[in-house]
Amino acid sequence: MIRAMSNNASIPALTADDHLILVDGSTFIFRAYHALPPLTRKPDGLPIGAVSGFCNMLWKLLQEGLTPEKGDEPTHFAVIFDHSSKTFRSDIYPEYKAQRPPPPEDLIPQFGLIREATKAFSVHSVEQEGFEADDLIATYAVQAAKMGARVTIVSGDKDLLQLIGPNVGMIDTMKNKIFGEPEVFEKFGVGPDKVIEVQSLAGDSVDNVPGVPGIGLKTAALLINEYGDLETLLSRAGEIKQNKRRENLIEFAEQARISKQLVTLKQDVPVDVPVTDLSVTDLNGPKAVGFLKAMGLTTLTKRVAETTGAEAANIEADDFQVPGWHIPDHKGRMVEHAAPAAALSADSTAPGAEPLPNGMMVPQTVATARAHAAASAPIDASDYETVTTLEQLKSWIAEAYEVGYVAFDTETTSLDAMQADLVGLSLCSKVGKACYVPLAHVDGEGDLLGGGGLVEGQIPMAEALAALKPMLEDRGVLKIAQNLKYDWLVMTRHGIDISPADDTMLLSYTLDAGKGGNGMDELSERWLGHKPIPFKEICGSGKSMITFDRVPIDKASAYAAEDADVTLRLWQVLKPRLASERMATVYEKLERPMVPVLARMEKRGISVDRQMLSRLSGDFAQGMAGLEDEIYQLAGERFNIGSPKQLGDILFGKMNLPGGKKTKTGAWSTSASVLDDLAVEGHELPSRIVSWRQLSKLKSTYSDALPGRIHPDTKRVHTSYSLAATTTGRLSSSEPNLQNIPVRTEEGRKIRQAFVAATGHKLISADYSQIELRVLAHMADIPQLKKAFEDGLDIHAMTASEMFGVPIEGMDPMIRRQAKAINFGIIYGISAFGLANQLGIGRGEASAYIKTYFERFPGIKDYMEAIKKDVHANGYVSTIFGRKAHYPEVNTKNPNMRAFYERAAINAPIQGSAADILRRAMVRMEDRLDASKLDAQMLLQVHDELIFEVPGSQVDATISLVREVMEKACEPVLQLSVPLQVDARAADNWDEAH
């Protein structure tokens, strides 16, 4: 589509006085869509968020160019769009950009509207068959620069940075960031002329450019700086010292050359519209106003009308009946109109863009303006302050009261909150203005004898905390932390209960679970484009690592104040998204209230019997020694039994046993399933190995390791729960992991017996029975399953009966076992391959079982298909309480990966809804126990189980209350269509209670 306003014949070339602005249209649409809150046209809900952002950006650029100063306005201007997915690059490399998800549903109608917008603003828009927008931009930019004109590319796409030069600049309007040669160097470690060399080595996962394995940006820049360019490097690859690197460069040389072709922009596209034709034409005021009115963009309508002298009141809104969107007919019924081909064709070409913070568009709300400020104000330390007097501290506290919120971060001596001593803390209420309050820094020079004395110029800890406590506990000041649970635990040990509070890690997790990590450094790079000072740079790592109290105060201050500043900025970027993406309830009901609940559980810890574990270690060692003798005998030599490599060589090399499988790296697999198969064949050695491994695992991971986790003061074991580690909403437990304590085998349960109640107390274990199958029955709406749970039937027996037509009474246990495996398979997103593996049957037989199952329970099949459709369309799936699990790669062309993500997406709502239910129970539990005057304490959570410690006299009352809270956890907002059943028991140790 071309919009040439002028006549070819008499077009003068561009000169040094000209300024050409090239807008990367497709990328802009995606980024505006993600960065801006969803905005819809009043009468019919037509989504126009991206259109609005686009119009505002166009208007600003046309009026001002890049700066408000006169003379910066463009003389030439064009918006460049992608045309179709088929380009010369997909011919070279079919996987190129192949994993891109389709655009969100409410973005699709906006593609067409944005093309309309270019017309309304009398702006040239260019797209050309077979070429990406980037190639057209490259061609125009090079042509204009040759004529001496100034060129500005408006894009956030790093692939365009190779075009930067004396006459060519780039601006990312979404981030308000200008790119010149220094920025390119910062990003790629080389100048613009070498960018493609680096890219062809490092590859790009976003565009599926393969590059060379094991080489990232850093290494690529290093190599290019040494060798000059890709070809020289490849021809001299043999000189590389590092073995792996050399081999990869040689092996993947061709792949690197293909990558180079992919990333090299075509600068000689035979353009249909010559660059000289792109001159700016006068804005037709009434035309623009008509369009803007139709979109319902009142602010911009007014502004354009004022500037152009158009009389807005007299101009009729354009008549936009946009096909492809639900528009009410004359009776108000929603009617779906077919989407126009143009709108849909855009979908396959439009790059999937990460959501980015709002840029320079007119803000829709104050919140997005704040987000913009947070993301775009450069981070520098000049407004960071080290607080050394109480007066100074009080003025920072006053500012927190005044502003109403404060980012807060503690610095301590340990990553383990239970062992961490407070060293200092940082505050920040205004972006860019942060402070560090050192409290316990010691002289780092001296070792054990000298030094270790408190450094001068620090406020006494007690005085500082006394001054801070009222503010940290004040309802009127919102505290903002990254990983709040940690700071909450540190402060509660100083008698301060932080409240109310937000956690940026949980905000990110709520909004973006599955899209990547939620740690501060990662979030800062993702949202602020800023890499915070690494902890390693301050404290070092490994053996030479020092504790934070030994860091010089000036260094500590720069690091800590930056953390508070970054935390505040992240909060300003993420918090507004909660409302606009309708995730506020999930955050407020399922995430934030978990912080103090888990913190208290961690603080309480659980008692383990050290002697018992020590005895077990001895027993295990003895058992292992006996097995080792037999193993060496059978093998005919001594070797490291713990080495899968050595074991594989013995079994499949030396002894030449059959049935050897290979791992993905080509080594012999010695997994338990392989060894079991060999044992069944009657081979002695494999069965001994399996037994040895079992004991070895129990000893090293549990009986040896757990005593080392007993806290010196509390004498109990304190795990750490992560609220933001899983995609589905489950918790995870680490250091030590108390969610994988053995239970399956007799020997293993002895470990569990070492988890004991305090004197005079009992442990209560309360677990949901079959919660995931119940959730599935509810969500997929399966009558037979619901009925079976209603009637309290054995669900696996019922499944077997339904599938194989056998009566439940007197059922063959093997039949039931198969049905049970199928039920689990369903929850895991079943595949014939997996089921066959699990049951040790053929793939065909497994397929037949699955087919039968789907015939008997057609609702399950429907449910699975619906989920798959959902995840492919949206990139995420949701639990019954609205939690989202994202699968950004689900549209990959790789069939295995695709199937994997589909299974994960099928499982996520089931596993995640169950996790939500237990979270709801946990959030309520403490208040309910208090209200009933019960002293029971919640100690552990293991996905569908809660462990309590309770005085012996209150066991019965506690069990019935716990059961009630857990069984009614969905209420009142949701009435599950199946009953939840909780089994609970009390005993002196965890094994017997379970």
Partner DNA sequence: TCTTGCCCTTA
Partner DNA sequence: GTAAGGGCAAGAT
- Judged by CB under 7 A, the chain residues 674 through 703 that form the site for DNA are 675, 690, 693-694, 697-698, 700-701
Cα(137)–Cα(160) distance, integer angstroms:
8
Residue 710, interface with DNA (CB under 7 A)?
no
Among 908, 940, 955, 980, binds DNA (CB under 7 A): 908
Name residues contacting DNA, limited to 150-179 (CB under 7 A): none
DSSP H stretches of helix in 493-529: 504-512, 520-523
Among 8, 40, 299, 740, binds DNA (CB under 7 A): 740
Backbone phi, psi, residue 606, to 5°: -135, 150
* Range list of β-strands (E), 431-570: 433-438, 478-481, 501-503
Residue 739, interface with DNA (CB under 7 A)?
yes
Say how far residue 565 (Cα) sits from the centre of its chain.
22
DSSP H stretches of helix in 783-941: 783-790, 795-804, 813-827, 832-839, 843-856, 858-874, 895-931
In this structure, which amino acid lies at residue 714?
T
Among 296, 593, 644, 859, binds DNA (CB under 7 A): 644
Minimum Å distance from CB 861 to DNA? 14
Say if CB 442 and CB 424 are below 8 A apart: no
**Site pattern 842..881 for DNA (x: CB under 7 A):** ----------------------------------------
- Per rule CB under 7 A, count of chain residues that contact DNA: 75
Rg of the chain over CA atoms, in angstroms?
32
Minimum Å distance from CB 849 to DNA? 9
Q: 638 by DSSP, 3-state: which?
A: coil
Among 945, 949, 967, 991, binds DNA (CB under 7 A): 945
Say if CB 432 and CB 376 are below 8 A apart: no
Q: State the CB neighbour count (10 A cutoff) for residue 466.
A: 13
Among 732, 769, 874, 981, binds DNA (CB under 7 A): 732
How would DSSP label each residue in 326-381? EEE-TTS-EEEPPPPHHHHHHHHHSPP-------SSPPSSHHHHHHHHHHHS---G
Name residues contacting DNA, limited to 743-762 (CB under 7 A): 743-745, 748
Minimum Å distance from CB 903 to DNA? 4
Among 426, 727, 753, 937, binds DNA (CB under 7 A): 727
Cα(584)–Cα(333) distance, integer angstroms:
30
CA distances for 861 relative to 783, 802, 826, 836, 855, angstroms: 14, 16, 10, 19, 9
Nearer to DNA, 8 or 737 (CB): 737
Cα angle 940, 946, 950; round to 5: 80
Minimum Å distance from CB 940 to DNA? 11
Residue 741, interface with DNA (CB under 7 A)?
yes
Cα(459)–Cα(423) distance, integer angstroms:
11
Question: Near DNA by CB under 7 A, which window of 343-351, 538-546, 809-817, 975-983?
Answer: 538-546
Nearer to DNA, 231 or 247 (CB): 247
Minimum Å distance from CB 798 to DNA? 17
DSSP class of residue 946 equals: E
Say if CB 882 and CB 875 are below 8 A apart: no
Q: 523 by DSSP, 3-state: which?
A: helix
Minimum Å distance from CB 544 to DNA? 8
Residue 838, interface with DNA (CB under 7 A)?
yes
**Site pattern 235..274 for DNA (x: CB under 7 A):** -------xxxx-----------------------------
Among 207, 562, 802, 944, binds DNA (CB under 7 A): 944
Name residues contacting DNA, limited to 597-616 (CB under 7 A): none
Name residues contacting DNA, limited to 651-670 (CB under 7 A): 663-665, 667, 669-670
Minimum Å distance from CB 816 to DNA? 14
DSSP class of residue 276 equals: G
Write b or e for each residue in 144-156: b if 16 or more Cβ atoms lie within 10 A of its Cβ, otherwise e. Answer: bbebebbbbbbbb
Nearer to DNA, 253 or 539 (CB): 539
Residue 543, interface with DNA (CB under 7 A)?
yes
Cα(250)–Cα(485) distance, integer angstroms:
49
Nearer to DNA, 527 or 668 (CB): 668
Among 822, 929, 936, 982, binds DNA (CB under 7 A): 822
Nearer to DNA, 430 or 749 (CB): 749
Among 306, 554, 681, 735, binds DNA (CB under 7 A): 735
Residue 225, interface with DNA (CB under 7 A)?
no
Say if CB 724 and CB 518 are below 8 A apart: yes
Nearer to DNA, 149 or 650 (CB): 650
Nearer to DNA, 384 or 849 (CB): 849
Taking alpha carbons only, the member of 415, 659, 428 closest to residue 557 is 428
Write b or e for each residue in 475-484: b if 16 or more Cβ atoms lie within 10 A of its Cβ, otherwise e. Answer: eebbbbbbbb
Residue with tokens 């504790």: 547
Nearer to DNA, 798 or 835 (CB): 835
Question: Near DNA by CB under 7 A, which window of 322-330, 732-740, 851-859, 956-964?
Answer: 732-740
Among 146, 645, 711, 869, binds DNA (CB under 7 A): 645
Among 580, 722, 847, 981, binds DNA (CB under 7 A): 722
Question: Near DNA by CB under 7 A, which window of 20-28, 84-92, 469-477, 718-726?
Answer: 718-726
Say if CB 466 and CB 411 are below 8 A apart: no
Nearer to DNA, 420 or 698 (CB): 698
Minimum Å distance from CB 640 to DNA? 5
Among 821, 969, 978, 984, binds DNA (CB under 7 A): 821
Cα angle 873, 877, 879; round to 5: 155
Among 5, 250, 335, 705, binds DNA (CB under 7 A): 705
Minimum Å distance from CB 792 to DNA? 20
Cα(515)–Cα(893) distance, integer angstroms:
19
Among 542, 658, 712, 807, binds DNA (CB under 7 A): 542
In this structure, which amino acid lies at residue 399?
E
Residue 728, interface with DNA (CB under 7 A)?
yes
Nearer to DNA, 547 or 739 (CB): 739
Nearer to DNA, 541 or 622 (CB): 541
Question: Near DNA by CB under 7 A, which window of 36-44, 372-380, 611-619, 722-730?
Answer: 722-730
In this structure, which amino acid lies at residue 581?
E
In this structure, which amino acid lies at residue 57?
M
Residue 942, interface with DNA (CB under 7 A)?
yes
Q: 737 by DSSP, 3-state: which?
A: coil
Question: Would you say how long the chain is, in residues?
Answer: 994
Question: Near DNA by CB under 7 A, which window of 88-96, 363-371, 561-569, 644-652?
Answer: 644-652
Determine which helix (DSSP H) or strand (DSSP E) holds 937, and give its type and residue range. strand 937-941
Say if CB 744 and CB 693 are below 8 A apart: no
Residue with tokens 């009966």: 801
Minimum Å distance from CB 560 to DNA? 22
**Site pattern 490..529 for DNA (x: CB under 7 A):** ----------------------------------------
Q: State the CB neighbour count (10 A cutoff) for residue 979.
A: 12
Minimum Å distance from CB 745 to DNA? 6
Taking alpha carbons only, the member of 91, 78, 79 closest to residue 130 is 91
In this structure, which amino acid lies at residue 32?
A
